[in-house]
Amino acid sequence: MSVITESEHLVIYRPRYAVISSDTASRNVIRRHCLLDVSITAAKSDAPSSFSTRQIAAPQSVEKELERLFAECQDEIFEDGMDSDFSRRLARLILTRRDAALLELNVLVRSARTPPNLVAEALRTLGGISDKNTHAFRRWILADLLAARSVTVRDGAIVGLANLDDPSVKKMVESRLPHEPSEQLRQDLKQLLDQLETPEAGYALSVEEDS
Amino acid sequence: MKRPKLGMPYLLRKIRRVRWDPQLKAELPGCADDDCPSDCLVDLKTADCALSLWHVEDDKSNLNDVAVALATNCDNVDHLDYALVAREEVEAIGLLQPSKGATAHRAANEQWHWNLVNLTARRVAHLAYILFRSAERVRVSKKEMVRLIRDALVKQKLDRDKMKFGV
Protein backbone atom coordinates (compact mmCIF):
# COMPACT_ATOMS: atom_id res chain seq x y z
CA MET A 1 0.00 0.00 0.00
CA SER A 2 1.53 3.32 -1.01
CA VAL A 3 1.80 6.14 1.48
CA ILE A 4 0.21 9.44 0.50
CA THR A 5 1.71 12.59 1.95
CA GLU A 6 -0.55 15.38 3.18
CA SER A 7 0.27 17.65 0.26
CA GLU A 8 -0.29 14.86 -2.26
CA HIS A 9 -3.55 14.06 -0.55
CA LEU A 10 -4.75 17.63 -0.93
CA VAL A 11 -3.88 17.67 -4.63
CA ILE A 12 -5.25 14.24 -5.40
CA TYR A 13 -8.57 14.87 -3.71
CA ARG A 14 -8.97 18.37 -5.02
CA PRO A 15 -12.36 18.45 -6.69
CA ARG A 16 -12.15 17.61 -10.36
CA TYR A 17 -14.49 20.17 -11.73
CA ALA A 18 -14.33 22.57 -14.58
CA VAL A 19 -16.88 25.03 -13.35
CA ILE A 20 -19.06 26.35 -16.09
CA SER A 21 -21.18 29.11 -14.73
CA SER A 22 -23.31 31.73 -16.31
CA ASP A 23 -22.37 35.24 -15.39
CA THR A 24 -25.72 36.90 -15.01
CA ALA A 25 -24.58 40.29 -16.20
CA SER A 26 -22.99 39.31 -19.45
CA ARG A 27 -24.07 35.67 -19.77
CA ASN A 28 -20.45 34.90 -20.50
CA VAL A 29 -19.36 31.38 -20.12
CA ILE A 30 -16.70 31.13 -17.51
CA ARG A 31 -14.49 28.13 -17.49
CA ARG A 32 -12.65 27.62 -14.30
CA HIS A 33 -10.09 24.90 -13.92
CA CYS A 34 -10.24 23.90 -10.32
CA LEU A 35 -7.65 21.31 -11.07
CA LEU A 36 -4.44 23.28 -11.23
CA ASP A 37 -2.35 20.45 -12.54
CA VAL A 38 -4.61 18.22 -14.55
CA SER A 39 -1.75 15.92 -15.42
CA ILE A 40 -1.76 14.59 -11.86
CA THR A 41 -5.18 13.03 -11.95
CA ALA A 42 -6.49 13.31 -15.47
CA ALA A 43 -5.41 13.66 -19.03
CA LYS A 44 -5.42 17.22 -20.34
CA SER A 45 -7.98 16.17 -22.92
CA ASP A 46 -10.37 15.64 -20.04
CA ALA A 47 -10.67 19.39 -19.58
CA PRO A 48 -13.81 20.51 -21.35
CA SER A 49 -13.94 23.05 -24.10
CA SER A 50 -15.92 26.23 -23.58
CA PHE A 51 -18.74 24.68 -25.57
CA SER A 52 -18.71 21.33 -23.87
CA THR A 53 -22.00 20.01 -22.63
CA ARG A 54 -20.37 17.07 -20.94
CA GLN A 55 -19.80 18.77 -17.58
CA ILE A 56 -22.53 19.20 -15.05
CA ALA A 57 -23.73 22.76 -15.00
CA ALA A 58 -25.36 23.97 -11.80
CA PRO A 59 -29.09 24.43 -12.16
CA GLN A 60 -29.96 28.05 -12.69
CA SER A 61 -32.15 28.10 -9.62
CA VAL A 62 -29.11 27.57 -7.41
CA GLU A 63 -27.31 30.42 -9.10
CA LYS A 64 -30.32 32.68 -8.69
CA GLU A 65 -30.83 31.60 -5.12
CA LEU A 66 -27.23 32.37 -4.23
CA GLU A 67 -27.31 35.71 -5.98
CA ARG A 68 -30.50 36.62 -4.16
CA LEU A 69 -28.94 35.57 -0.86
CA PHE A 70 -25.82 37.66 -1.45
CA ALA A 71 -27.88 40.65 -2.59
CA GLU A 72 -30.27 40.50 0.36
CA CYS A 73 -27.50 40.15 2.93
CA GLN A 74 -24.93 42.57 1.57
CA ASP A 75 -25.67 45.10 4.32
CA GLU A 76 -25.77 42.59 7.15
CA ILE A 77 -23.25 43.27 9.90
CA PHE A 78 -21.45 40.18 11.09
CA GLU A 79 -20.08 39.47 14.52
CA ASP A 80 -17.97 36.53 15.61
CA GLY A 81 -19.95 33.97 17.57
CA MET A 82 -23.32 35.38 16.53
CA ASP A 83 -25.72 33.68 14.12
CA SER A 84 -26.45 35.56 10.93
CA ASP A 85 -29.26 35.21 8.46
CA PHE A 86 -26.67 34.95 5.70
CA SER A 87 -24.68 32.09 7.23
CA ARG A 88 -27.81 30.14 8.18
CA ARG A 89 -29.24 30.37 4.67
CA LEU A 90 -25.92 29.66 2.98
CA ALA A 91 -25.27 26.58 5.11
CA ARG A 92 -28.77 25.29 4.36
CA LEU A 93 -28.26 25.79 0.64
CA ILE A 94 -24.93 23.96 0.63
CA LEU A 95 -26.28 21.08 2.68
CA THR A 96 -29.23 20.63 0.35
CA ARG A 97 -27.69 21.43 -3.06
CA ARG A 98 -24.12 20.38 -2.25
CA ASP A 99 -21.75 20.55 -5.25
CA ALA A 100 -24.21 22.48 -7.41
CA ALA A 101 -24.26 25.22 -4.78
CA LEU A 102 -20.49 25.09 -4.27
CA LEU A 103 -19.85 25.37 -8.00
CA GLU A 104 -21.80 28.61 -8.11
CA LEU A 105 -20.44 29.85 -4.80
CA ASN A 106 -16.91 29.29 -6.05
CA VAL A 107 -17.60 31.77 -8.83
CA LEU A 108 -19.36 34.30 -6.58
CA VAL A 109 -16.59 34.44 -4.00
CA ARG A 110 -14.07 35.24 -6.72
CA SER A 111 -16.14 37.93 -8.37
CA ALA A 112 -14.89 41.50 -8.00
CA ARG A 113 -18.52 42.54 -7.59
CA THR A 114 -19.02 40.53 -4.40
CA PRO A 115 -18.22 42.58 -1.27
CA PRO A 116 -15.16 41.14 0.54
CA ASN A 117 -17.03 41.23 3.84
CA LEU A 118 -19.69 38.91 2.43
CA VAL A 119 -17.11 36.62 0.84
CA ALA A 120 -15.31 36.38 4.18
CA GLU A 121 -18.53 35.44 5.97
CA ALA A 122 -19.24 32.82 3.32
CA LEU A 123 -15.79 31.32 3.89
CA ARG A 124 -16.25 31.25 7.65
CA THR A 125 -19.55 29.47 7.06
CA LEU A 126 -18.01 26.99 4.62
CA GLY A 127 -15.51 25.89 7.25
CA GLY A 128 -18.17 25.44 9.89
CA ILE A 129 -20.35 23.04 7.90
CA SER A 130 -20.07 19.41 8.86
CA ASP A 131 -20.70 17.39 5.69
CA LYS A 132 -18.40 14.70 4.37
CA ASN A 133 -19.84 14.90 0.84
CA THR A 134 -18.74 18.48 0.30
CA HIS A 135 -15.70 18.53 2.58
CA ALA A 136 -13.06 18.27 -0.15
CA PHE A 137 -14.62 20.96 -2.31
CA ARG A 138 -15.06 23.37 0.63
CA ARG A 139 -11.49 22.70 1.76
CA TRP A 140 -10.17 23.48 -1.69
CA ILE A 141 -12.07 26.78 -1.95
CA LEU A 142 -10.82 27.83 1.49
CA ALA A 143 -7.21 26.85 0.87
CA ASP A 144 -7.17 28.51 -2.53
CA LEU A 145 -8.49 31.81 -1.16
CA LEU A 146 -5.63 32.09 1.32
CA ALA A 147 -4.02 33.90 -1.61
CA ALA A 148 -6.93 36.28 -2.27
CA ARG A 149 -6.14 39.95 -2.89
CA SER A 150 -8.35 41.26 -0.09
CA VAL A 151 -7.08 40.96 3.48
CA THR A 152 -10.70 40.56 4.62
CA VAL A 153 -11.18 37.55 2.34
CA ARG A 154 -7.88 36.00 3.43
CA ASP A 155 -8.94 36.37 7.05
CA GLY A 156 -12.23 34.64 6.23
CA ALA A 157 -10.30 31.78 4.61
CA ILE A 158 -8.08 31.38 7.68
CA VAL A 159 -11.08 31.30 10.02
CA GLY A 160 -12.84 28.87 7.67
CA LEU A 161 -9.85 26.54 7.67
CA ALA A 162 -9.62 26.78 11.46
CA ASN A 163 -13.27 25.76 11.65
CA LEU A 164 -12.66 22.92 9.18
CA ASP A 165 -9.71 21.68 11.27
CA ASP A 166 -8.34 19.48 8.51
CA PRO A 167 -4.58 18.86 8.84
CA SER A 168 -4.21 18.04 5.15
CA VAL A 169 -4.00 21.79 4.41
CA LYS A 170 -0.90 22.29 6.57
CA LYS A 171 1.50 22.36 3.64
CA MET A 172 -0.60 24.97 1.84
CA VAL A 173 -0.78 27.11 4.95
CA GLU A 174 2.97 26.82 5.45
CA SER A 175 3.65 27.77 1.85
CA ARG A 176 1.37 30.82 2.16
CA LEU A 177 3.00 32.11 5.36
CA PRO A 178 6.06 33.86 3.86
CA HIS A 179 3.89 35.61 1.25
CA GLU A 180 1.26 36.99 3.63
CA PRO A 181 1.73 40.79 3.83
CA SER A 182 -0.39 41.29 6.96
CA GLU A 183 1.42 40.82 10.27
CA GLN A 184 -1.91 40.00 11.96
CA LEU A 185 -2.73 37.32 9.42
CA ARG A 186 0.77 35.83 9.67
CA GLN A 187 0.06 35.39 13.38
CA ASP A 188 -3.28 33.79 12.54
CA LEU A 189 -1.66 31.44 10.01
CA LYS A 190 0.84 30.35 12.67
CA GLN A 191 -2.01 29.85 15.13
CA LEU A 192 -3.80 27.78 12.49
CA LEU A 193 -0.71 25.63 11.95
CA ASP A 194 -0.44 25.03 15.69
CA GLN A 195 -4.09 24.03 15.78
CA LEU A 196 -3.70 21.64 12.85
CA GLU A 197 -0.93 19.79 14.72
CA THR A 198 -3.62 18.40 17.01
CA PRO A 199 -6.96 18.43 15.20
CA GLU A 200 -10.10 17.57 17.12
CA ALA A 201 -11.07 13.94 16.67
CA GLY A 202 -13.85 13.58 14.15
CA TYR A 203 -13.45 17.01 12.58
CA ALA A 204 -11.54 16.05 9.46
CA LEU A 205 -12.11 13.23 7.03
CA SER A 206 -9.87 10.22 6.93
CA VAL A 207 -8.18 9.45 3.61
CA GLU A 208 -10.67 6.67 3.02
CA GLU A 209 -13.64 8.93 3.64
CA ASP A 210 -12.11 11.60 1.44
CA SER A 211 -11.71 9.42 -1.62
CA MET B 1 -20.29 46.63 43.84
CA LYS B 2 -16.69 45.50 44.32
CA ARG B 3 -14.32 47.46 42.13
CA PRO B 4 -10.65 46.74 41.43
CA LYS B 5 -7.76 48.99 42.41
CA LEU B 6 -6.64 51.07 39.48
CA GLY B 7 -2.92 50.77 38.74
CA MET B 8 -2.11 50.94 35.04
CA PRO B 9 -4.97 48.80 33.84
CA TYR B 10 -6.49 48.25 30.43
CA LEU B 11 -9.89 48.37 28.83
CA LEU B 12 -11.02 45.60 26.51
CA ARG B 13 -13.48 45.69 23.63
CA LYS B 14 -14.59 42.73 21.54
CA ILE B 15 -13.83 43.37 17.87
CA ARG B 16 -13.50 41.60 14.53
CA ARG B 17 -9.77 41.97 14.18
CA VAL B 18 -9.49 42.14 10.40
CA ARG B 19 -11.46 45.41 10.45
CA TRP B 20 -8.48 46.89 12.32
CA ASP B 21 -5.75 45.35 10.20
CA PRO B 22 -3.25 47.99 8.95
CA GLN B 23 -3.27 46.04 5.71
CA LEU B 24 -6.94 46.99 5.27
CA LYS B 25 -5.94 50.63 5.68
CA ALA B 26 -3.26 50.09 3.03
CA GLU B 27 -5.96 48.77 0.69
CA LEU B 28 -8.09 51.86 1.27
CA PRO B 29 -7.27 54.69 -1.15
CA GLY B 30 -6.96 58.10 0.46
CA CYS B 31 -6.90 56.99 4.09
CA ALA B 32 -4.79 59.59 5.88
CA ASP B 33 -2.05 58.69 8.36
CA ASP B 34 -4.14 59.92 11.28
CA ASP B 35 -7.28 58.08 10.16
CA CYS B 36 -8.55 54.51 10.12
CA PRO B 37 -11.01 52.48 7.99
CA SER B 38 -14.65 53.26 8.71
CA ASP B 39 -15.37 49.55 9.22
CA CYS B 40 -13.65 49.94 12.61
CA LEU B 41 -16.74 51.85 13.74
CA VAL B 42 -18.81 48.69 13.32
CA ASP B 43 -17.04 47.34 16.39
CA LEU B 44 -17.83 50.48 18.38
CA LYS B 45 -21.58 50.38 18.19
CA THR B 46 -23.07 52.50 20.94
CA ALA B 47 -26.44 52.41 22.69
CA ASP B 48 -27.79 55.45 24.51
CA CYS B 49 -24.53 57.19 23.59
CA ALA B 50 -22.58 54.70 25.72
CA LEU B 51 -20.06 52.01 24.83
CA SER B 52 -19.56 48.78 26.75
CA LEU B 53 -15.97 48.09 27.84
CA TRP B 54 -14.31 45.62 30.17
CA HIS B 55 -11.70 46.41 32.77
CA VAL B 56 -8.54 44.27 32.67
CA GLU B 57 -6.06 44.42 35.54
CA ASP B 58 -2.56 45.69 34.85
CA ASP B 59 -1.16 42.16 35.34
CA LYS B 60 -3.94 40.80 33.07
CA SER B 61 -4.92 38.39 35.83
CA ASN B 62 -8.62 38.64 34.91
CA LEU B 63 -8.13 38.63 31.13
CA ASN B 64 -9.29 35.03 30.64
CA ASP B 65 -12.37 35.65 32.79
CA VAL B 66 -13.32 38.67 30.71
CA ALA B 67 -12.76 36.69 27.50
CA VAL B 68 -15.03 33.95 28.82
CA ALA B 69 -17.65 36.51 29.83
CA LEU B 70 -17.74 37.90 26.29
CA ALA B 71 -17.80 34.46 24.72
CA THR B 72 -20.75 33.35 26.82
CA ASN B 73 -22.75 36.27 25.46
CA CYS B 74 -22.62 34.76 21.97
CA ASP B 75 -24.94 32.39 20.11
CA ASN B 76 -22.11 29.90 19.48
CA VAL B 77 -18.65 29.26 20.76
CA ASP B 78 -16.20 30.85 18.34
CA HIS B 79 -12.76 32.42 18.34
CA LEU B 80 -12.62 35.74 20.16
CA ASP B 81 -10.93 38.85 18.82
CA TYR B 82 -10.39 41.72 21.21
CA ALA B 83 -8.62 45.07 21.46
CA LEU B 84 -6.81 45.94 24.68
CA VAL B 85 -5.95 49.57 25.29
CA ALA B 86 -4.50 51.51 28.22
CA ARG B 87 -7.35 52.73 30.38
CA GLU B 88 -5.87 56.21 30.63
CA GLU B 89 -6.11 56.65 26.86
CA VAL B 90 -9.87 56.01 27.00
CA GLU B 91 -10.34 58.19 30.07
CA ALA B 92 -9.02 61.11 28.04
CA ILE B 93 -12.00 60.75 25.69
CA GLY B 94 -14.96 60.55 28.03
CA LEU B 95 -16.43 59.52 31.32
CA LEU B 96 -16.19 55.90 32.46
CA GLN B 97 -18.99 54.64 34.66
CA PRO B 98 -19.19 51.25 36.39
CA SER B 99 -22.11 49.19 35.17
CA LYS B 100 -23.32 45.65 35.76
CA GLY B 101 -22.58 43.34 32.85
CA ALA B 102 -25.15 41.02 31.31
CA THR B 103 -23.05 37.94 30.59
CA ALA B 104 -23.08 34.48 32.14
CA HIS B 105 -19.91 35.26 34.12
CA ARG B 106 -21.03 36.37 37.58
CA ALA B 107 -17.80 37.97 38.81
CA ALA B 108 -17.11 39.72 35.53
CA ASN B 109 -20.59 41.25 35.53
CA GLU B 110 -20.11 42.61 39.04
CA GLN B 111 -16.50 43.75 38.93
CA TRP B 112 -15.20 44.51 35.49
CA HIS B 113 -17.89 45.99 33.27
CA TRP B 114 -17.81 49.71 32.50
CA ASN B 115 -19.60 52.07 30.15
CA LEU B 116 -17.93 54.93 28.35
CA VAL B 117 -20.75 57.47 28.43
CA ASN B 118 -21.77 60.79 26.89
CA LEU B 119 -20.33 59.76 23.56
CA THR B 120 -20.59 61.84 20.42
CA ALA B 121 -19.84 60.76 16.87
CA ARG B 122 -16.56 62.64 17.02
CA ARG B 123 -15.56 60.99 20.30
CA VAL B 124 -16.31 57.54 18.91
CA ALA B 125 -14.22 58.29 15.83
CA HIS B 126 -11.41 59.48 18.11
CA LEU B 127 -11.66 56.29 20.14
CA ALA B 128 -11.52 54.26 16.93
CA TYR B 129 -8.32 55.97 15.94
CA ILE B 130 -6.78 55.42 19.39
CA LEU B 131 -7.65 51.73 19.24
CA PHE B 132 -6.31 51.52 15.70
CA ARG B 133 -3.07 53.26 16.65
CA SER B 134 -2.25 51.81 20.05
CA ALA B 135 -4.43 48.87 21.05
CA GLU B 136 -3.07 45.38 21.32
CA ARG B 137 -5.31 43.29 19.08
CA VAL B 138 -5.47 39.60 19.89
CA ARG B 139 -7.24 36.53 18.56
CA VAL B 140 -8.03 33.68 20.95
CA SER B 141 -8.69 30.52 18.97
CA LYS B 142 -12.00 28.68 19.17
CA LYS B 143 -10.28 25.70 20.76
CA GLU B 144 -8.72 27.87 23.43
CA MET B 145 -12.09 29.50 24.09
CA VAL B 146 -13.71 26.09 24.53
CA ARG B 147 -10.98 25.20 27.03
CA LEU B 148 -11.43 28.47 28.95
CA ILE B 149 -15.22 28.13 29.06
CA ARG B 150 -15.00 24.53 30.27
CA ASP B 151 -12.57 25.62 32.96
CA ALA B 152 -14.90 28.42 34.06
CA LEU B 153 -17.82 25.98 34.17
CA VAL B 154 -15.84 23.55 36.33
CA LYS B 155 -14.99 26.41 38.70
CA GLN B 156 -18.69 27.38 38.77
CA LYS B 157 -18.02 30.92 37.59
CA LEU B 158 -20.82 30.82 35.00
CA ASP B 159 -24.57 30.96 35.13
CA ARG B 160 -25.51 28.17 32.71
CA ASP B 161 -29.03 29.51 32.27
CA LYS B 162 -27.62 32.58 30.56
CA MET B 163 -25.57 30.57 28.04
CA LYS B 164 -27.02 29.87 24.60
CA PHE B 165 -24.66 26.98 23.84
CA GLY B 166 -22.98 24.03 25.50
CA VAL B 167 -19.34 23.01 25.27
Domains in chain B: boundaries: 10-157
Condensed to tens digits (0 to 9), the pLDDT of residues A130-160 reads 999 999 999 999 999 999 999 999 999 999 9
From the candidates A76, A77, A79, A165, which should be mutated to test the interface with B, based on the most B CB atoms within 10 A?
A79
* B14-41: average pLDDT: 95
A16-19: list long-range contacts, CB under 8 Å, 24+ apart: A16/A41, A16/A42, A17/A55, A17/A99, A17/A103, A17/A137, A18/A47, A18/A48, A18/A52, A18/A55, A19/A103, A19/A106, A19/A107
Q: Which of the pair, A11 or A143, is modelled with greater confidence?
A: A143
- Considering CB atoms only, which of A81, A152, A191 is closest to B24? A152
Binary contact (A181, B23; C-beta < 8 A): yes
On whether any CB of chain A is under 8 Å from the CB of B25, the answer is no
On whether any CB of chain A is under 8 Å from the CB of B40, the answer is no
Contact partners, residue A160, CB within 8 Å, separation at least 6: A123, A124, A125, A126, A127, A128, A138, A142
> By C-alpha distance, which of B52, B91, B86 is closest to B69?
B52
Pairwise CA distance, residues B81 & A116, whole Å: 19
Structural domain spans, chain A: 6-44+56-210
Q: How many C-beta atoms surround the C-beta of residue A34 within 10 A? A: 17
Taking CB atoms and an 8 Å cutoff, what residues of chain B touch A191?
139, 141
Q: Return the H-helix or E-strand segment holding B126.
A: helix B121-134
> Which amino acid does the sequence have at B114?
W
On whether any CB of chain A is under 8 Å from the CB of B24, the answer is yes
Identify the pLDDT of residue B166: 77
pLDDT above 90 as % of chain B: 91
Q: What is the pTM of this model?
A: 0.81
Taking CB atoms and an 8 Å cutoff, what residues of chain B touch A183?
22
From the candidates B13, B14, B16, B18, which should be mutated to test the interface with A, based on the most A CB atoms within 10 A?
B18
* A30-51: average pLDDT: 36
Q: Which of the pair, A35 or B130, is modelled with greater confidence?
A: B130
On whether any CB of chain B is under 8 Å from the CB of A195, the answer is yes
Pairwise CA distance, residues A119 & A167, whole Å: 23
Q: Is residue B48 pLDDT above 70, yes or no?
A: yes
Condensed to tens digits (0 to 9), the pLDDT of residues A163-204 reads 999 999 999 999 999 999 999 999 999 999 999 998 875 555
Residue A104 backbone dihedrals phi, psi, to 5 degrees: -70, -40
Taking CB atoms and an 8 Å cutoff, what residues of chain A touch B79?
80, 159, 162
Q: Could you tell me the pLDDT band of residue A58, with boundaries at 50, 70 and 90?
A: low
Condensed to tens digits (0 to 9), the pLDDT of residues B62-94 reads 999 999 999 999 999 999 999 999 999 999 999
A34-48, A190-204, B40-54, B98-112 — which is least confidently predicted? A34-48
On whether any CB of chain A is under 8 Å from the CB of B161, the answer is no
Q: What's A6-44+56-210's CATH class?
A: mainly alpha
Interface A-B, measured as beta-carbon pairs within 8 A, has a size of: 61
Q: Could you tell me the pLDDT band of residue B59, with boundaries at 50, 70 and 90?
A: very high
